[in-house]
């Protein structure tokens, strides 16, 4: 493969490339292999969001069903609609059922990091880099600034594996007219969508567009190859259509596609941060930590702002830039660097211009503009790889001096004048002189080694080791918290205890999705974006309980929680009638970096069987219009929930309202535990209410296969409307199943796209 990428390399050159590739893989294994032994990012999104999703993914696969829906998130959620579960991503189907949610998560991260670095290595080789240059570029790509701050986000690590492969596919087609490149491009774009973070797919598409435009400006005959590139992109979209359709429907249902300009502009990259390219320590030692005053003033956090690429990486990138005229292939890379920097920082220097950019179709869907810095990161990694064999010149010396001077001025300004905020100035926690001293010493060391290795190539191996050590150090001392895997739920006595209960458990507390790892239902579900109305209302009540717990006050919403089905509350506030758990691993996840050690208190809510909502019931008072969402949901908190059923005016027709104004008041029913099969005995129209989030993907049929209408009632639960004759007593069998309509056409379309892409990939050169 490397010989193919190298376009015309001799057998000895190809053999050398493979040797370097193996050495490269070994270095990466040493740097990142701790994940295979249990090292991982702990707390935050991995424990509260990603791994719980994967645990439910595993349960669905082992149950023999597509992971489309889950009842363990509040009142239930469209699981595949939350794209980051990766329901259609084939590696998930192989890794997670075999290795489980915990080990599988670490293995998946490790494999994708190796994969991303390998694709970057191949892309750099394709662009003319030497073997060692490609190694350095790959190291920068997987351990530099962007992956450092995104190491806690599974979508970032998995997505970064496919980004350089998309660019590699384009280059294989443009440079060699080899159809394998088209297939690689299609599968790369589809994989970015299957993984489930469409912002990465959008950023990658922007980068590819700029890349192809720049390449074509200097080689007009490439215009003839655009047609098949576009066709390849369309194939990628076709393959990803099941995920795209489900996620788009979910996003539009919860109005996540209409966020404000202020929301979409938040988390941009401060221009001052560019000084970290020379002095990386200062941004990691600022007063207040990753979310301190400096970051707040700039409307971001350190978790979204980092572009350090290593000292040697920056030097080689400058050497490459100083010889730009000698190689036009560098221009597309430079275009990526400039585009990424402009888009990532634009809200900082021109909010109005960025607001205008958001009006362009595709740009107004995603927040966190600093993530456009991924293009800067990719471009700088490639620039460093290609510049590895370039020599020092007068221009490069001037550029290096200029960049060091600008960064020094920036740091001096920050640490002397600073940005005023209530309480003082922004200063590093450590002496600025130490930061300057370490920075200058590092630069002298690397400049010396680079100069010497240009005289003696044998020193390049030592230079590579030094570069790897520096990148690895800053990778693991980033804002994310690395530690030994907690392997939930087994490491938590609380979850283990609740898991052993035979009764149904819904757990509230500051846990978000963690209870799902134990197969429990979480009352405080978190899905990354707004959830369906009923779940949002439930979570608002849970948050009131959490807020009281943080203030050491009694829980003011015991009755509403118990009525809605919450069986247990996890808290820190002491309670004499509750079970206390010392040294539970959940404490470290909930409190984060806090040194406070507080025991967890597990309180069982007093449940009155007469007042607690059942999983389903028959409404005997008919339908009526309610004024708003809150008023409709509040009806669940009253004892007369069985009487009249509230529905919003926009969700009901007058004909249906009239038809079900007086349902059968004597009807009875039986149901299975999963609330999927019901037997309803009635002599008139009946309203069957199921305590599950309404979603149009749910389908209800009777024993004859006739469709029954489902409407959202009580602020977003399922209301199944069953027709009947008041003069005749009958039994209606109601069967519920979840199958979104879009799957009827997207699954065949995806299969067609995969077959065509595979066929293209095995064809010889055009």
Over residues 318-339, the mean pLDDT reads: 83
Give the pLDDT score at 692.
96
CA distances in angstroms from 317 to 163, 216, 333, 353, 377, listed in the order given: 20, 23, 11, 29, 11
Which of the four pLDDT bands, split at 50, 70 and 90, describes residue 290? confident
Q: Characterize the bridge pairing of strands 698-701 and 707-713.
A: antiparallel
Average pLDDT, the chain: 89
Over residues 636-658, the mean pLDDT reads: 84
Question: 291 pLDDT exceeds 80?
Answer: yes
Which of the four pLDDT bands, split at 50, 70 and 90, describes residue 188? very high
Q: Characterize the bridge pairing of strands 506-508 and 645-648.
A: unpaired
Which of the four pLDDT bands, split at 50, 70 and 90, describes residue 2? low
Which has the closest alpha carbon to 389: 306, 453, 341, 298? 453
Question: 8 pLDDT exceeds 60?
Answer: no
The answer to which of 12-16, 360-364, 573-577, 632-636 has the lowest mean pLDDT is 12-16
pTM of the model: 0.93
Over residues 314-326, the mean pLDDT reads: 83
Q: Tell me the angle at which helices 311-322 and 330-349 cross, rounded to the nearest 10 degrees.
A: 120
Question: 91 pLDDT exceeds 90?
Answer: yes
The answer to which of 275-289, 331-345, 523-537, 730-744 has the lowest mean pLDDT is 275-289
Q: What is the pLDDT of residues 361-396, one digit of tens each?
A: 888 888 899 999 999 999 999 999 999 988 888 888
The answer to which of 464-468, 609-613, 748-752 has the lowest mean pLDDT is 609-613
Q: Tell me the angle at which helices 198-217 and 330-349 cross, rounded to the nearest 10 degrees.
A: 130
User: What is d(CA 134, CA 122) in angstroms, rounded to the nearest whole number?
Assistant: 7
Backbone angles phi, psi at 702, to 5 degrees: -95, -175
Over residues 591-596, the mean pLDDT reads: 65
CA distances in angstroms from 286 to 292, 366, 370, 699, listed in the order given: 8, 28, 19, 54
Q: Which structure tokens are listed for 329?
A: 């292939």
Over residues 589-596, the mean pLDDT reads: 70
Give the pLDDT score at 103.
92
Give the pLDDT score at 208.
96
Whether the link from the prior residue into 352 is cis, omega within 30° of 0, is no
Whether the link from the prior residue into 489 is cis, omega within 30° of 0, is yes
Task: Give kind and range of the element (H or E) at residue 207.
Answer: helix 198-217
Q: What is the pLDDT of residues 449-465, one digit of tens each?
A: 888 888 887 788 888 88
**What is the share, in percent, of the chain residues with pLDDT greater than 90?**
55
Cross-strand partners of 521: 506
Q: Which structure tokens are listed for 416?
A: 């002397």
| Degrees to nearest 5, angle at CA 747 with 743 and 751 | 175
Which of the four pLDDT bands, split at 50, 70 and 90, describes residue 325? low
Give the pLDDT score at 654.
85
Give the pLDDT score at 106.
93
Over residues 233-250, the mean pLDDT reads: 95
User: What is d(CA 124, CA 80) in angstroms, rounded to the nearest whole number?
Assistant: 36
**Which parts of 260-362 are beta strand (E)?**
none
Over residues 154-173, the mean pLDDT reads: 95
Question: 329 pLDDT exceeds 80?
Answer: no
- Asked if 240 and 751 count as a contact pair (C-beta separation under 8 A), the reply is no
Give the pLDDT score at 233.
95
Give the pLDDT score at 347.
94
Give the pLDDT score at 4.
55
Give the pLDDT score at 328.
61
- Asked if 481 and 41 count as a contact pair (C-beta separation under 8 A), the reply is yes
Give the pLDDT score at 157.
93
Give the pLDDT score at 427.
61
Give the pLDDT score at 11.
67
Q: What is the pLDDT of residues 75-89, one digit of tens each?
A: 999 999 988 899 999
Give the pLDDT score at 272.
86
Over residues 417-441, the mean pLDDT reads: 69
Q: Tell me the angle at which helices 154-176 and 198-217 cross, rounded to the nearest 10 degrees.
A: 20
Question: 210 pLDDT exceeds 70?
Answer: yes
Question: 212 pLDDT exceeds 60?
Answer: yes
Q: What share of the chain is helix, strand, coil (3-state, %, to 5)?
A: 60, 10, 30
Q: What is the DSSP letter of 387?
A: G
Which of the four pLDDT bands, split at 50, 70 and 90, describes residue 287? confident
- In the three-class reduction of DSSP (H, G, I as helix; E, B as strand; rest coil), residue 429 is classed as coil
Which of the four pLDDT bands, split at 50, 70 and 90, describes residue 202? very high
């Amino acid at each position: 493969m490397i010989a193919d990428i190298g376009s015309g390399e001799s057998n000895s050159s190809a053999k050398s490339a493979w040797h370097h590739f193996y050495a490269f893989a070994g270095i990466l294994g040493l740097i990142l292999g701790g994940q295979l032994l249990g090292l991982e990012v702990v707390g935050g999104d991995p424990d509260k969001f990603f791994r719980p999703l994967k645990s439910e993914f595993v349960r669905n696969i082992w149950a023999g069903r597509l992971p489309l829906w889950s009842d363990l998130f509040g009142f239930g959620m469209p699981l595949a609609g939350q794209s980051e579960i990766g329901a259609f991503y084939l590696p998930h189907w192989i890794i997670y059922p075999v290795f489980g949610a915990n080990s599988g998560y670490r293995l998946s991260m490790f494999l994708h990091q190796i994969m991303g670095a390998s694709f970057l290595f191949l892309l750099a080789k394709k662009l003319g880099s030497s073997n060692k240059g490609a190694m350095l570029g790959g190291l920068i790509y997987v351990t530099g600034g962007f992956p450092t701050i995104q190491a806690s986000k599974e979508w970032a690590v998995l997505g970064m594996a496919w980004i350089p492969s998309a660019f590699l596919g384009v280059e294989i087609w443009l440079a060699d007219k080899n159809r394998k490149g088209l297939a690689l491009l299609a599968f790369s774009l589809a994989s970015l969508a299957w993984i489930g973070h469409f912002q990465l797919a959008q950023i990658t598409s922007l980068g590819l567009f700029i890349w192809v435009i720049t390449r074509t400006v200097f080689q007009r005959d490439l215009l003839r190859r655009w047609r098949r590139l576009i066709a390849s992109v369309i194939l990628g979209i076709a393959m990803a259509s099941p995920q795209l359709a489900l996620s788009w429907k979910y996003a539009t249902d919860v109005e996540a596609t209409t966020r404000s300009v202020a929301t979409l502009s938040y988390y941009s990259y401060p221009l001052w941060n560019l000084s970290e390219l020379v002095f990386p320590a200062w941004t990691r030692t600022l007063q207040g930590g990753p979310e301190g005053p400096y970051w707040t003033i700039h409307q971001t956090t350190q978790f979204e702002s980092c572009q350090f690429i290593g000292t040697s990486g920056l030097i080689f990138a400058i050497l490459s830039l100083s010889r730009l005229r000698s190689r036009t292939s560098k221009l597309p890379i430079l275009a990526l660097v400039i585009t990424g920097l402009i888009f990532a920082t634009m809200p900082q220097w021109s909010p109005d211009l960025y607001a205008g950019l958001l009006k362009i179709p595709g740009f107004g869907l995603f927040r966190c503009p600093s993530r456009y810095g991924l293009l800067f990161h990719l471009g700088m990694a490639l620039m460093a790889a290609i510049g590895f064999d370039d020599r020092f010149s007068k221009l490069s010396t001037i550029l290096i001096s200029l960049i060091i001077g600008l960064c020094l001025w920036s740091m001096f300004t920050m640490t002397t004048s600073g940005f005023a905020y209530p309480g003082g100035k922004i200063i590093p926690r450590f002496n600025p002189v130490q930061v300057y001293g370490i920075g200058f010493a590092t630069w002298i060391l690397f400049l010396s080694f680079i100069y010497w290795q240009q005289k003696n190539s044998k020193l390049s191996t030592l230079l590579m080791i030094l570069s790897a050590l520096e990148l690895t150090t800053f990778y693991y001392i980033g804002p994310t918290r690395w530690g030994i895997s907690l392997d939930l739920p087994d490491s938590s006595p609380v979850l283990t205890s609740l898991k052993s209960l035979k009764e149904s458990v819904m757990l509230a507390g500051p846990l978000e999705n963690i209870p799902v790892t134990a197969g429990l239902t979480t009352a405080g579900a978190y899905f990354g974006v707004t959830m369906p109305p009923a779940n949002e209302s439930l979570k608002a009540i849970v948050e009131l309980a959490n807020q009281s717990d943080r203030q050491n006050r009694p829980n003011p919403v015991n009755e509403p929680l118990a009525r809605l089905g919450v069986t247990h509350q996890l808290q820190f506030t002491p309670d004499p009638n509750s079970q206390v758990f010392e040294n539970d691993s959940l404490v470290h996840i909930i409190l984060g970096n806090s040194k406070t050690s507080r025991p967890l208190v597990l309180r069982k809510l007093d449940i009155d069987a007469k007042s607690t909502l059942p999983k389903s019931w028959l409404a005997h008072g008919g339908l009526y219009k309610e004024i708003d969402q809150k008023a409709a949901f509040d009806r669940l908190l009253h004892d007369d929930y069985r009487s009249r059923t509230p529905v919003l005016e926009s969700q009901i027709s007058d004909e249906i309202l009239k038809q079900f104004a007086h349902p059968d008041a004597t009807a009875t029913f039986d149901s299975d535990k999963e609330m999927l099969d019901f037997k309803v005995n009635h002599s008139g129209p009946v309203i069957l209410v199921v305590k599950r989030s309404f979603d149009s993907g749910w389908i209800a049929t009777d024993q004859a296969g006739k469709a029954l209408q489902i409407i959202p009632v009580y602020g977003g639960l399922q209301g199944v409307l069953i027709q009947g004759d008041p003069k005749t007593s009958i039994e209606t069998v109601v069967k519920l199943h979840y199958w979104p309509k879009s799957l009827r056409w997207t699954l065949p379309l995806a299969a067609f796209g995969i077959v065509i892409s595979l066929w293209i990939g095995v064809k010889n050169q055009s």
